[in-house]
Structure 1
Amino acid sequence: MTLLRRPFQIIRSNLRVYALLNALAYGTFAIGFILGLLFPDLVAGRAQALEDDGTASLVTSLLSSPWLFALTILAVNTLRLGALTILLPSLVVPFLGLATFAVWSVTTGVTLVPTTPEGWVALIPHSLTLVIELQAYILLLLGAFLLGRYWVRPQAIGARNRRAAYLRGLQHIGWLSLPALALLIIGALYEAFSLLYFVYPLQQWLLG
């Protein structure tokens, strides 16, 4: 029960920060999405970038295997986004992960702007994926924020020195990473299976 209770205690103790991080995550994504709607060339540029770096072809090759697709999504979301985009920068420079995440979120908002009717229909089920995964990243952002706050102001938590404060921040990241990982697993499974088994029938039904 401690594995469930402790992360929620951390969130309850920092509800204002948690709410602000929700605004950051969804707000930056919305900014990117609006920019994509206003400037279609940005969307085309992102699509071309995904083609050039092999991401688009990788996704296509994995569509026939939902479990492998889900595993790949989980690996990308946990390692490239969770670890490298949010946590690692924050371990080096206080709060840096919040800035790197904001850049990723705006870019993702641009990337997900649909350019066809089929794309708009696909966005309906994919919106739930977005909500689930952003909630996971918000938990990691909260851990990164608390690490930075403790690191900069050790006296705020009664720590003896910055090293002790840093270790306290790492503990909070560890606790918050547990529900974040659970959400990322759920999000990866839902994304893989919904793209394979739900999007096409929904397109046929709505666009038929």
Structure 2
Amino acid sequence: MDRLRRPFRIIRADRRAYLFVTGLTYGAFLLGMALGALFPGLRAARTASFADGSQGALVNAVVGNGWLFAVVIFLVNVFPTALLLITLPSMVVPFAGLAVFAVKAIDIGITLAPVDRTSGLTLIPHSLTLLIEFQAYVLVVFGAYLLGRSWLRPATVDAGTRGQGYRRGLRLLASLWLPALALFVVGAAYEVFEIYFLVPRVLGV
């Protein structure tokens, strides 16, 4: 039970930092969406790059199996993004994951920009998926921020040395990973439901 409560205590203790990270994460995504809407050619190029890349090929290979598709969505959100882009860089360079994920969020926004009727209608059911998954990313990014701050300013976590601050920052990050994983599971399940059942009805196909 304490593990379930600990993430909420961490957020309450640094509410201002949490709001900053939330604004940074969603702001980067909205900036990307604005860029994609203003420059449709940029959006088309990013969409084509995804479709022709390894992730696009993986999606095409498993989209016919709903359960497998959900597992792939979960794994892609957790490993290439939350772990490799946010967590690991932040464990080497303070706050590096924040900058790297901001670029990734802009790219996601560009790809999902509503440039026509189909993309606009698809975004209606997909908005809940984005909210769930980005909230999971916010938790991981917030943990990366706390790690960097604890590392550079160990006094913020009552540590005497930067080594102690780093270790305590890692514990904070690990605590925030737990609810993030739960949200990634929920997001993957809903995204499959959305793609198979909601989007066809919205589009009338």
Q: TM-score, normalised by structure 2?
A: 0.96
Whether contact under 8 Å (1:32, 1:109) holds in the other structure is: yes
Q: In the alignment, which residue of structure 2 is the partner of 1:159?
A: 159
Instruction: Provide the C-alpha distance between the structure 2 equivalents of 1:95 and 1:84, rounded to a whole number of angstroms.
Output: 14
Identity rate, percent? 46
1:6 deviation in Å? 0.6
- Cα RMSD, aligned residues only: 1.3
Partners in 1 of 2:80 and 2:28 — Cα distance? 19
- 1:133 aligned partner: 133
Q: Which runs of 4+ in 1 moved over 4 A?
A: none
Do residues 123 (structure 1) and 137 (structure 2) align?
no
How many residues get paired? 205
Q: Distance in 2 between matches of 1:83 and 1:163?
A: 22
SS at match of 1:81: helix
| Unaligned segments of structure 2, at least 5 residues | none
Q: Per-residue CA shift, 1:154-184, capped at 9, x if unaligned? A: 1232212111111100100111000000000
The match for 1:191 is 191
Residues 1:97 and 2:97 are matched in the alignment: yes
Distance 1:143 1:108, change over 3 A: same
Asked if the contact 2:10–2:172 (Cα under 8 Å) also holds between the matched residues in 1, the reply is: yes
Aligned match of 2:41:
41
One-letter identity of the residue aligned with 2:174: G
Match of 2:182 in 1: 182
CA 1:54–1:18: 2 relative to 1, 3 Å: same
In 1, Cα distance between equivalents of 2:155 and 2:116? 54
Partner of 1:121: helix, strand, or coil? helix
Q: How far has the Cα of 1:115 moved from its partner?
A: 4.1
- Aligned: 1:110 with 2:71: no
What is the letter of the counterpart of residue 14 of structure 2? N
* Corresponding letter in the other structure for 1:13: A
Query: What letter matches 2:65 in structure 1?
Result: S
Match of 1:50 in 2: 50
Letter aligned with residue 86 of structure 2? I
Aligned to 2:150: 150
Q: CA deviation at 1:48?
A: 1.8
Amino acid at match of 2:123: L
Partner of 1:74: 74
Decide whether the 8 Å contact of 1:78 with 1:184 is kept in 2.
Answer: yes
CA distance in 1, matches of 2:175, 2:161: 22
Match of 2:64 in 1: 64
Question: Offset of 1:88 from its aligned partner?
Answer: 0.4
SS of 2:159's equivalent?
A: coil
Q: Which moved more, 1:108-117 or 1:19-28?
A: 108-117
CA distance in 1, matches of 2:186, 2:192: 10
How far apart are 1:42 and its partner, in Å?
0.5
Aligned letter for 2:147?
L
CA distance, structure 2, for counterparts of residue 54 and residue 152 of structure 1 = 37
TM-score between the two structures when normalised by the length of structure 1: 0.94
Cα shift readout 1:70-97 (whole Å, capped 9, x = no counterpart): 0000000000111001100000000000
Q: Is the 8 A contact 1:63 1:196 kept in 2?
A: no
For 2:130 and 2:47, the matched residues in 1 are separated by 18
